[in-house]
A and B are shown apart, each in its own frame.
Chain A
């Protein structure tokens, strides 16, 4: 509950009322008796963080599922919580969603402590739980209307269906939808209250590549609309494609966090420029002479390590200048898989797409 002051439009006196942030209430002026409907301001906080997690810990008997982790999620960003299965991602997100009780630590959503203020926060968040499956025998429209009407104020279901391209399926029963469509409906359900923050827990697990792409596009759209998206995933491509900020979790601990560029530059290997079908001996000699780290790969192919982006242009200029001919080039960029490998010595996921 928040308290807010209004200026009565009839008598001009200041009147105090309390209610849920963002809620609509009918107010009576105790001075002149006039009545009117007002909207209480939505939750705002100053530091620009949608989520603040501090020293969060979850212990089950001897097992430490989440071990003293801290991070912040900025408003309007897509924040990916990346890690292999069993790393503690879902435990963490479910503690943030107040589904699980933390052993220790504090969590704030939009500046409010969830331990005491979670009922206020409910209107500002939307969630898609892991392996979510809705009511089989309701249609897409009925499903969205069912969940929308659980809120006092809710978004227009038609608009949500249009935004997620669900209109052609609105009369289809949920059980008859494809995996990708079910997940799209799940995302739509998380938007029925027009939340500021959307939690998507492994939204593409088990989907085929086409369906996975469809969900990715939906998440991109959420970001465009200014929503904060908290995404948990064990697919590095998903995090690479969608996330502004990535937090890598391993065995309950955060082992790295930052932007994709930052993580690759800090923990990844150098990128490699591959030149195919050229005069290897001549080219290697020339490139090495100018300080490039070139090695023969056999069959007329050369690999050159790229420490930083500008070096690519330098190499290409040099090849042109020296009139070294080649068939094609490609750049193999370091990725999160290599970041994870260099940090843990293990592969991120066995079933990465």
Chain B
């Protein structure tokens, strides 16, 4: 292995990259712009999920009345759950945005409030911050219904209030969902287009033919280019996270930082491999760029980069699950935002396997020799 060549080539690649204002824009500033624009647009936007699971620990006439009231809200589908269920694990299992728990003192406190007006009781709303838009809708509906219920029973005295508990133990915003997606998207575009350029433009320009006659092996060349792609991926990730923290007060957890690093590396190999495959089959530079766009552009929208998958129709959710970017995005979200080790391992494993398959096929298909 000619380490001198690899370092030498890496330096030249970085120098060239820094001089290309367009590439620097697409790699660093474009994702930052997306964060600014989408962050402003989608923070606090409504969505269309209205399913509410309720655990009634009281099972009194009062709690029944409140449940009936909820059932009468046409946009809400109320489902009751067993009193023995552990809510956080139930939410995880059922993949729910929110669950309402009516405490066992609900009816008793309401009765008491007719004598002692200072009596209060709180229902508890468990919500999943990763489904921020759905859970905020549910929270608004519950708040309104409680206001109406208080009005109806006490004539305006606030007897029933609401506590909120995140099933992940923290509060998250849309930006926390969005930024990991932008990291995945940026790694995907820079690696896919970088590989396409090396396999089509360099071929057309005769650089690969020239290298073939020089004492450099294909492995050394691919390795040095992969190091460069990793450099770009890490720089982009750091810039995106920094902007997210400084501008949007993004919540980043460092507990699973090794998984985040592993995901950056795996995703870089995955999408570079994808670029190599495209570059092999579509040899014209312009056509290859279009082919790259045809693959990355739909993936960008279908893999839950900008919007939670729950907002999409069922068939699109199924499609998302065959897209590598979906696993990259979810891997990043679970590793750096929700710190859910099980889901992080689950999604990271998919990314790793995708990376292995795509990169090995990409390297196998990359040819310097002409037919």
Q: Which residues of A contact B (CB under 8 A)?
A: 60, 94, 97-101, 119, 122-123, 125, 127, 129-138, 142, 146-147, 149-152, 173, 189, 193
Contact = CB atoms under 8 A, between A and B. Distances in A.
A133 B215 contact: no
A147 B8 CA distance: 10
Contacts of A123: 215
A93 to B, nearest CB: 11
Interface string B1-22: 0001100110010011001100
Contacts of B215: 119, 122-123, 150-152
A134 B369 contact: no
Given A119-B215, A135-B16, A149 B210 contact: no
Given A99-B212, A135-B16, A130 B370 contact: no
B57 to A, nearest CB: 67
B206 A100 contact: no
A49 B5 CA distance: 32
Given A99-B213, A99-B370, A149 B4 contact: yes
B12 A135 contact: yes
Contacts of A133: 204-207
Given A100-B370, A101-B369, A132 B19 contact: no
Contacts of A132: 205-207, 210
A325 B47 CA distance: 104
B213 A125 contact: yes
Contacts of A131: 204-206
B216 interface: yes
A150 B213 contact: no
A149 B8 contact: yes
A120 B96 CA distance: 66
B103 to A, nearest CB: 66
A138 B206 CA distance: 16
B137 to A, nearest CB: 50
B115 interface: no
Contacts of B371: 60, 100
A100 B369 contact: yes
B367 to A, nearest CB: 11
B212 A150 contact: no
26 contacts: A98-B212, A99-B213, A101-B369, A119-B215, A125-B213, A127-B210, A127-B213, A129-B209, A131-B204, A131-B205, A132-B207, A132-B210, A133-B205, A133-B206, A135-B16, A137-B19, A137-B20, A138-B15, A142-B15, A146-B12, A147-B210, A149-B4, A150-B8, A151-B215, A152-B215, A173-B19
Q: Which 5 interchain pairs have the tightest Cβ spacing?
A: A129-B206, A133-B205, A132-B206, A137-B19, A137-B16
Contacts of A60: 371
B294 interface: no
A50 B211 CA distance: 22
B214 interface: yes
A215 B180 CA distance: 53
Interface in B340-371: 368-371
A138 B205 contact: no
Nearest to A152: B215
A130 B20 CA distance: 26
Nearest to A126: B213
A125 B215 CA distance: 11
Contacts of A129: 206, 209-210
A192 B214 CA distance: 11
Contacts of A94: 209, 370
A232 B216 CA distance: 25
A326 B214 CA distance: 61
A135 B20 CA distance: 11
A185 B12 CA distance: 17
Contact of A122 (B9, B206, B213, B370): B213
A151 B213 CA distance: 11
A189 B211 CA distance: 11
A59 B9 CA distance: 36
Interface string B207-234: 1011111111000000000000000000
A99 B15 contact: no
Nearest to B220: A150
B5 A149 contact: yes
Contacts of B16: 135-138
B159 to A, nearest CB: 70
A150 B216 contact: yes
Interface in B168-226: 204-207, 209-216
B286 to A, nearest CB: 15
Given A135-B16, A137-B19, 13 more contacts: A94-B209, A98-B213, A99-B368, A100-B370, A100-B371, A101-B369, A119-B215, A122-B214, A127-B210, A129-B206, A131-B204, A133-B205, A136-B16
Nearest to B212: A99
Contacts of A134: 205, 207
A98 B212 CA distance: 8
A147 B4 contact: no
A52 to B, nearest CB: 18
A189 B206 CA distance: 13
A100 B209 CA distance: 10
Nearest to A60: B371
Contact of A97 (B4, B9, B213): B213
B104 to A, nearest CB: 71
A173 B215 CA distance: 25
Nearest to A129: B206
Contacts of B20: 137
